[in-house]
Every structure is written in structure tokens, then in C-alpha cells.
């Protein structure tokens, strides 16, 4: 897996945490074609080798903007074919992000508009700075959400709230997003990353195969009926029984010490 990108910065910690920074601050961290290609590649690489990290933190460069969505300066004057070709790259990136087996925490450090809001919604859960704002503004531009916004937002806030947010295109603040269930926690801006990293370290300290299997099972919960979902959960659970980590977890509990999980 490569770690040098033009539009992304990757930071690895000793706690098995990978921080991904959307890094186009001069363009409001917006998504141009290059960022789309790089996100698609990165998520695919993480799918192929999830041992790279035990938890991922996704954030934007700077203190004001997480991601402003698609780069409308680059898109200005695009032909229909050029627009669709670019969007196909974005679509593949979103699908690859959906398939990422590693937990992803969104650290929303500022405005998350349009496609930036959709990237945020595709994280497993979100912590936001108090000054963060969210909006799906696509209908004000003659398009509509196309990075799973119409799918993820109703799951997060309910159908009626999602209708209001998407059809008006109006922004909402971090506290409002918290009240709607879109955000898990709101923090003062300077404390955001410390708070997120504390949660990331907690996740990364757990058995990595167990965490990945639990994430996979939770992800199908809204897609299947209860019985089929439980059957899937049991299949995921049975994967744990023969792991070294399962033996280590029980042994550590009985020896009253912290487990040393290996991801095996």
C-alpha cells in the first residue's frame, strides 16, 4: 500500500491508528478527479490488507472545512461525458469505502457540504467540532446527492428529517446534527482530535478480527430482516472461535491483565 498522495495525507500512530487527511486546503478540501482516484485506490488497498490499521480517523486539513464536496471550479464547463466519467470514479470510491472492513471515525473539523457531507455520512460514526456545519446542497445546483447521501442520511436521521435536509439544501449546525442522531459527539474545535483519538485508541485496543466482524454484522442490520441478520451475525461470530485472539482475551481476563491482541 502506498502512503504518498497528492491530495491526501496519511499519518500512522503507534496505536495502530491511521489518520487520513483530505488535504486540499486551498480548494476547501474539495474533491477533484485526482482526489477521487486517490480515495478509490486507498480504500481498495485497505480492503485488500486490513492489517494496516485497527481504526481509521478521517478528517480535513485546517480548522474551518472538512470537505466542500465536488470541486465546482474543475467541473465548470465539463461535458456530460466528462462529468459522468468523473462521477464514476467518485462512485467507485464510495463503494470501496463502504466495503472497508476497518472502523472509520469521521472527525468533522468544519463545514461538510455536498459530497463532503456524503463522505462524512459514509463513516461508521462522527464526532464534530462545535463550529462544524453539514449540508447536502446538490438540489440547489441542479443535481442531487450521488454519493449515497439519499441512502445514508435517512438511516441516520429518519426519512422525514432526511427529506427536509436534502430537499431544502439548507445547512444545519453540529448541535442540531447531534440532536438528529447524525453525529455522536460534539467537541470544542481544539479538543476534537484528542477526543476522536481517545475513542480510536479504545477501538484499536480491542481484538481486530472481532472488531471487523462486528462492523460487518452491524452494517447488514439495516439491509436484512431480523432473522436473516441474526444468521449473518452468527456466521460472523463463529469466525472468532478459532482465533488466537479469542484465547488471549479469555486468558488475559483470568490473569487480570490487558490482552495482547495479534489479529490472528
Q: What is the DSSP string of 150-173?
A: HHHHHHHH-HHHHHHHHHH---EE
Tell me how far the alpha carbon of residue 254 is from its chain's centroid. 35
Question: How would you label 168-195 residue by residue, b for 16+ Cβ within 10 Å and e otherwise?
Answer: eeebbebeebbebebbeebbebeebbeb
Strand order in the sheet with 65-67: 65-67, 111-113, 133-135, 172-173
User: Is 138 in the active site?
Assistant: yes
Q: Which of 126, 97, 92 is nearest to 112 (CA)?
A: 126
Q: Among the options 11, 82, 138, 175, which is catalytic?
A: 138
| CA–CA gap between residue 27 and residue 48 (Å, rounded) | 31
**Catalytic annotation, residues:** 118, 138
Amino acid at each position: 500500500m502506498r502512503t504518498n498522495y497528492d491530495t491526501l495525507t496519511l499519518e500512522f500512530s503507534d496505536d495502530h491508528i491511521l489518520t487520513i487527511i483530505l488535504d486540499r486546503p486551498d480548494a476547501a478540501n474539495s474533491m477533484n478527479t485526482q482526489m477521487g482516484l486517490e480515495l478509490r485506490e486507498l480504500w481498495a488497498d485497505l480492503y485488500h490488507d486490513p492489517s494496516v490499521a485497527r481504526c481509521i480517523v478521517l478528517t480535513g486539513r485546517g480548522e474551518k472545512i472538512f470537505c466542500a464536496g465536488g470541486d465546482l471550479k474543475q467541473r465548470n464547463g465539463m461535458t456530460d461525458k466528462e462529468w459522468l466519467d468523473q462521477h464514476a470514479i467518485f462512485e467507485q470510491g464510495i463503494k470501496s469505502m463502504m466495503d472497508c472492513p476497518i472502523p472509520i471515525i469521521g472527525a468533522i473539523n468544519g463545514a461538510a457540504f455536498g459530497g463532503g457531507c456524503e463522505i462524512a455520512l459514509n463513516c461508521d460514526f462522527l464526532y464534530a467540532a462545535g463550529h462544524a456545519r453539514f449540508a447536502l446542497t446538490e438540489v440547489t445546483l441542479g443535481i442531487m446527492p450521488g454519493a449515497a447521501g439519499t441512502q445514508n442520511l435517512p438511516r441516520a436521521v429518519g426519512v422525514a428529517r432526511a427529506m427536509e435536509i436534502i430537499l431544502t439544501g439548507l445547512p444545519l449546525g453540529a448541535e442540531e446534527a447531534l440532536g438528529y442522531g447524525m453525529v455522536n459527539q460534539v467537541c470544542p474545535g481544539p479538543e476534537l482530535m484528542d477526543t476522536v483519538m481517545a475513542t480510536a485508541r479504545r477501538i484499536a485496543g480491542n481484538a481486530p478480527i472481532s472488531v471487523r466482524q462486528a462492523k460487518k454484522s452491524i452494517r447488514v442490520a439495516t439491509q436484512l430482516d431480523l432473522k436473516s441478520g441474526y444468521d449473518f451475525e452468527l456466521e460472523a461470530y463463529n469466525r472468532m472461535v478459532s482465533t488466537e485472539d479469542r484465547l488471549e482475551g479469555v486468558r488475559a481476563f483470568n490473569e487480570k491483565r490487558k490482552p495482547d491482541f495479534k489479529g490472528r
